[in-house]
Structure 1
Amino acid sequence: MSASAALGRAEDAVSWRTPARLCECGSCGRFQVIPALEAGDSAVCSRCGSVLRKAMRDPLGRALALNLAALSILGVACLMSLMTVSTAGMTRQASLFTGPVDMGRSGLWELTVIVLFTTVVAPTLKLAANCYVLIGLRLARPPRHIRRVYAFVEHLRPWSMVEVFLLGVAVAYTKLVDLVHIELGMALYALALLMLTMIAAEAVLDRQAVWDEMERRGVPRQPIDHAATALARREDGAASCHTCGLVSLPHHHDDHCPRCGSTLHARKPSAVPRAWALLVAAAILYIPANYFPVLAFYQLGSGQPSTILGGVVELMEAELYPLAALVFLASVAVPLMKVVGMAVLLLSTQFGWRGRLRDRTRLYFAINAIGRWSMIDIFMVTILVALVRFGAIVSIEPGYGGIAFCAVVILTMLAAEGFDPRLMWDAAGANPADPAQGRP
């Protein structure tokens, strides 16, 4: 083996070893140095215990293969049917697009936009952008704009809800199985495989490795001096990028991250008042969301509307207790707990509470993680409306309560996404530094 070949192989082996970097914990705001990590190693915050970095083996190659596979599976799911139902000699098929289209025909175009975006548009954009970036990093000269594409992926991630949609389909199936004859379509199996593939793709992808590779390949427009940044202190104005996590000095780079180009802020701007505004709006809409029906069921010319709680009661009457408990938790309890939990976090920040900071930080990340699962009822209604339209014999129509409930879910998600948990630690005096930094 030639010396140059041996050197190239050695460089490839080292490339999957993460470099030592100064970072700021996104949970508590402590600056600390993450040492060089081998594949499989993890670094956790010395104060709050949050995971700062987990190094993966071949973090780009495996992620590219899985994202390409997921994108192909999503194409199959979009082209095939989810379910076919029949009754009294009549048949209807539903695809990923049928339910949202029927929602629009019923006058609920807002739900059409939300359902299509979360089940088709967001997953497609996320997978396609990931593939574009990972393929771009394999080119001899990666295009510079891939850093903006990947920054877009970071913001899009919470709005891809394939797994939540599948659970909504499962709830719809239990409601239909005694009403009509059902045949499962290929798209349903494709969506199940897509969910597993996307989970695997997320598990093997090291996001920081993508940013590090961009930096190594010269994608940023200017070189990044990590040695100088490592000597910087909070008092010097050092801040971490909310998108890529790079710690830098904003005044050295025109207040923009030198790696991804995002605007730099010590903390998310106006996080507390914006979260309060979104939370109050969600609390107000929670009342009509549970008072007005989300759907109306008609059979042989008679029927009655059904609220979210009414759907839970129907599942219990059918003795589907685990599913009833799941729907109750996701659609009734979780939105209420998110509103109450976020209110506690905001009050603790404004009043500078010092106790149980780690517990409150865990509460925040739990709220941020479970909020999207409340969309189960919206997806269930979408499937039911698409499948059960047999005129006077039996039909299901969407209700305006669904719009209010969907707004509650989105507003609480935005409130959680917009809040900065580091503000709780700042308010408690755990991050003494520049007085202009981190105060709500």
Structure 2
Amino acid sequence: MLRAFAVQRDPGPLVTPPQLRECPGCGLFQIVPAMAANMRSDCGRCGTELRATRADPTGHCLALTFASLVLFSVLWLSMLMKVSTAGIVHETSLLSGPAELVRHGLWPLAIAVAFTTALAPLAKFAGTLYVLIGLRMRTLPPNLRGVFLISRRMGTWAMLEVLLLGVFVAYTKLGDLVTIQLGPAVYALGILTVVVVWAELSLDPQAVWEEIERRGQTHAPMPAAAPLEYRPGAASCEDCKLVCVPAEHDGRCPRCGAHVHERKPDSLNRTLALVIAGVILYIPANVYPVLTVIQLGSGEPSTIMGGVEELVASKMYPLALLVFFASVLVPLFKLIGLVSMIGATSLTGTAEQAGVLLRQRTRLYFIVAWIGRWSMVDIFMESLLGALVQFGRAVTIEPGMGALAFCAVVIVTIFAAEAFDPRLMWDAAARNPHRKSLPSAASRSDARAAAVNSG
């Protein structure tokens, strides 16, 4: 068993004890050393971050999350933009986008936009506030672990920073069609995006789980001291990172109550099925029109590539590059990346032959998992354009069926990345010996001692 690397930013007293962790990237069990505030511990084999401590792991995040909730209210309740042309003035808010999609019969697209820009961020902010405030109370409110579990999972689907980029693209594209005046919601969105990122960087989620454990609000009774030795059948909880033996707790994590599996269930088959679905949907997403601009009674439907060509013709080269990258290259990159990683799980041979590029493939997985959300910028832009530009025969923008197929591609590829387990690549390269035959207690102790002494 190896000892993880700890990178110290500022010296200070130790705030965490040594902990046994399984790397989510390569599946190696290792000891995360005792750490002071503002330190980061990385996997000694693949470099994946295992723990990052903060000087104030909850206080700063509490204040910033409260500010986020206030800004979020301004965002959804105030004017987004005021557009005018031919003497007609039209004011819109963020609610206008999903409403316009419903009016055109694209209600699944309206649900996706509303969920990623309203429901998921609200659940994340409200849940985080509930937990952080609750932990400061003498008597704990009920179900802190369940609320924190949901709020952390909602982070994957809260896409306010992508919405900000969509507003910027819509504002730039509308410059030649109408006169635009920005409303308070745009400024609130810009500040909110910064505050949300700041709040996420200031939070130590594992410190929250440890405080919930210390206050006794866990799914099952916890041992007095966390074990520092690997036990047969041990696995890491994907949500709170606790290493446990799920068979001892009906397959659940004793701390947060989430289902625990040694590897994600049926990972390869689910990922492959979702990738195939994404490839099939990618075709109509690029063939069918995503929007139609009707000006003075005439207009032609525009596909994704058609929109890029129009931006190039208007000499908006940076914007054309941005739309091409987010709407064409990113989905394609995700599909190709996932296919290559699925192929990597079937590699056999020696560790040297099969494991040469494992570290790079693990990094590729986390890039693929992070970058996919940015493809939603095209969906948010089309939602805003459809709501903003409704001036009868003067000029009107209508969303098309291609946008629905493209949104499905984005969502399917996000699910595919979530379903894939990068540890399977290291298993295939025979880098995780506990997956084959469990070594004896003596050999486990010897391996740990040698690794610690060499560090």
**Is the structural similarity TM-score above 0.5?**
yes
Alignment of 1:388-399 (within 5 A): 388-399=389-400
Equivalent residue, structure 2, for 1:242: 238
**Per-residue displacement from partner, 1:238-258 (whole Å, max 9, x unpaired)?**
111011100011222222111
Worse overlay, 138-147 or 242-251:
138-147
Structure 1's unaligned 5+ residue stretches are 1-12
Contact 1:42/1:53 (<8 A) preserved: yes
1:33 Cα deviation from its structure 2 partner? 1.1
Distance 1:123 1:293 in 2: 30
The verdict on how the C-alpha distance between 1:313 and 1:137 changes in structure 2, with shifts beyond 3 A counting, is same
Contact 2:29 2:230 survives alignment (8 Å): no
CA contact (8 A) 1:63 1:205 kept: yes
State the match for 2:17 in structure 1: 19
What displacement does 1:225 show?
2.2
CA distance in 1, matches of 2:303, 2:154: 31
Contact 1:349 1:423 in 2 (8 A): yes
Match of 2:100 among 95, 99, 102: 102
**Offset from partner CA, 1:342-399 (integer Å, 9 cap, x none):** 0000011133443300000011111111000001110110111001111111101110
CA–CA distance in structure 2, aligned partners of residues 86 and 324 of structure 1: 25
Aligned to 1:200: 198
Q: Deviations over 1:205-234 (max 9, x none)?
A: 01111111111111115442264632233x
Match of 1:251 in 2: 247
* CA distance in structure 1 between the partners assigned to 2:327 and 2:365 by the alignment: 19
Instruction: Tell me whether 1:337 sits opposite 2:338 in the alignment.
Output: no
Match of 2:188 in 1: 190
> What SS does structure 1 have at the residue aligned with 2:74?
helix
- Letter of the structure 1 residue corresponding to residue 327 of structure 2: S
Q: Which digits, 9 at most, give the CA deviation of each residue in 1:106-136, with x for residues without a partner?
A: 0100111000011111111100000001011
Give the partner amino acid of 1:299: Q
Structure 1 CA distance for aligned equivalents of residues 188 and 377 of structure 2 = 19
Superposed, which structure 2 residues align to 1:142-221 within 5 Å?
A: 142-221=140-219
> 1:327 and 1:226, CA in 2 relative to 1: closer, same or farther beyond 3 A?
farther
Give 1:403's aligned residue: 404
Q: Is the 8 A contact 2:74 2:185 kept in 1?
A: yes
Is structure 2 residue 294 aligned with structure 1 residue 293?
Answer: no
Contact preservation (8 Å) 1:282, 1:408: yes
Instruction: Look up the match of 2:62.
Output: 64
Q: Distance in 2 between matches of 1:19 and 1:193?
A: 37
Provide the rounded CA distance (Å) in 1 between the counterparts of 2:367 and 2:437.
29
Find the partner of 2:316 among 296, 313, 320.
320
Q: Report if the CA contact (8 A) 2:19-2:226 is conserved.
A: no
Whole-angstrom distance in 1 between the partners of 2:419 and 2:63: 32
Q: Is the 8 A contact 2:20 2:229 kept in 1?
A: no
Comparing 138-147 with 209-218, which one deviates more in the overlay?
A: 138-147
Match of 2:345 in 1: 349
Residue 319 of structure 1, CA deviation: 1.5
2:278 corresponds to 1:282: yes
Task: Determine the structure 2 residue equivalent to 1:385.
Answer: 386
- Identify the residue that residue 418 of structure 1 maps to in structure 2: 419
> Normalization by structure 2: what TM-score?
0.90
- % identity of equivalent residues: 52
Question: Taking structure 1 as the reference length, what is the TM-score of the superposition?
Answer: 0.93
What residue identity is the alignment partner of 1:381?
E
Count of residue pairs the alignment pairs up: 422
Q: Does 1:30 align with 2:28?
A: yes
CA RMSD of aligned residues (A): 1.5
